[in-house]
Chains A and B, each alone.
Chain A
Amino acid sequence: AQTVTQSQPEMSVQEAETVTLSCTYDTSESDYYLFWYKQPPSRQMILVIRQEAYKQQNATENRFSVNFQKAAKSFSLKISDSQLGDAAMYFCAYRSILNQFYFGTGTSLTVIP
């Protein structure tokens, strides 16, 4: 079975600075999708960004970008120009070709004014 590991339970960043959240995964599949979700205190999980495994180009969504290293099975999220509203729990997720999702344990991000 696939596993997703987020090794940083907590991270903090100064407002306007850049922070990178780490995620690694284990799989034997060649085709899959990776996602980062954000869960603010309001508790609704929000899709931040997705990456298709067959695409070498790293996905970007405004201030959010990923560093996808397929061979290393690494999928980190970079948040640039951090804002107070970025404070949340961030989950890395893997979606297999069998439509199964696997989530990491999450990284709690604090943004310091």
Chain B
Amino acid sequence: KAGVTQTPRYLIKTRGQQVTLSCSPISGHRSVSWYQQTPGQGLQFLFEYFSETQRNKGNFPGRFSGRQFSNSRSEMNVSTLELGDSALYLCASSYSPPGGFRDGYTFGSGTRLTVV
């Protein structure tokens, strides 16, 4: 089956602009999570969506937002980009039925965002 697809793979934006990243999970996976990965901070949790609802949220400013559609595809938006937003953004999906948490994530290849 197809893996987790993230688009685009690379993105260069100017400070102050906004950006939208896309993630298509594995078919049947209803949970989609987003992470920011930087060399200094490691993997930082942004948010998780399940059945179009934000279920968990990390400690990021309101400039970072997301949504999930009825087909489980998710988008992440960052407004008013700052230089420090340059990072690899990883999307991960999992099959997450109520009470079930034995599954790990399946990750996408990420979107490398560079803010100049």
Instruction: State the A residues within 8 Å of B (CB).
Output: 32-33, 35, 37, 42-47, 50, 52, 91, 93, 95-106
Chain A residues with CB below 8 A from B90, complex form: 45
Chain B residues with CB below 8 A from A95, complex form: 101, 104
Shortest C-beta distance, B50 to chain A (Å), equals 8
Q: Is the interface of B mostly helix, strand, loop or mixed?
A: strand
Number of interface residues of B (CB under 8 A): 23
In the complex, residue of chain B having the shortest beta-carbon distance to the beta carbon of A49: B104
List, sorted by A's number, 12 A–B pairs whose CB atoms are closer than 8 Å.
A44-B107, A44-B109, A47-B106, A50-B104, A52-B102, A93-B104, A95-B101, A97-B101, A98-B56, A101-B33, A101-B45, A104-B42
Task: Given A44-B110, A103-B43, check contact A35 B101 (CB 8 Å).
Answer: no
- Answer whether residue B55 sits at the interface, using C-beta atoms and an 8 A cutoff: yes
Once the chains are docked, how many angstroms separate the CA of A106 from the CA of B56? 23
- Answer whether residue B64 sits at the interface, using C-beta atoms and an 8 A cutoff: no
Once the chains are docked, how many angstroms separate the CA of A91 from the CA of B105? 12
Chain B residues with CB below 8 A from A102, complex form: 45
Instruction: State the B residues within 8 Å of A (CB).
Output: 31, 33, 35, 42-43, 45, 48, 50, 55-56, 88, 90, 92, 96, 101-102, 104-110
Are A100 and B56 touching (Cβ within 8 A)? yes
Once the chains are docked, how many angstroms separate the CA of A102 from the CA of B108? 18
Shortest C-beta distance, A48 to chain B (Å), equals 9
Chain A residues with CB below 8 A from B92, complex form: 45
Are B105 and A50 touching (Cβ within 8 A)? no
Shortest C-beta distance, B24 to chain A (Å), equals 15
Chain B residues with CB below 8 A from A32, complex form: 101
Once the chains are docked, how many angstroms separate the CA of A104 from the CA of B104? 15
Chain A residues with CB below 8 A from B42, complex form: 103-106
Shortest C-beta distance, A29 to chain B (Å), equals 11
Shortest C-beta distance, A103 to chain B (Å), equals 4
Partner of A43, one of B31, B55, B110: B110
- Please give 10 more A-B residue pairs, beta carbons under 8 A apart, in addition to A99-B50, A103-B42: A33-B102, A35-B104, A43-B88, A52-B102, A93-B104, A96-B101, A97-B101, A98-B56, A99-B55, A100-B45
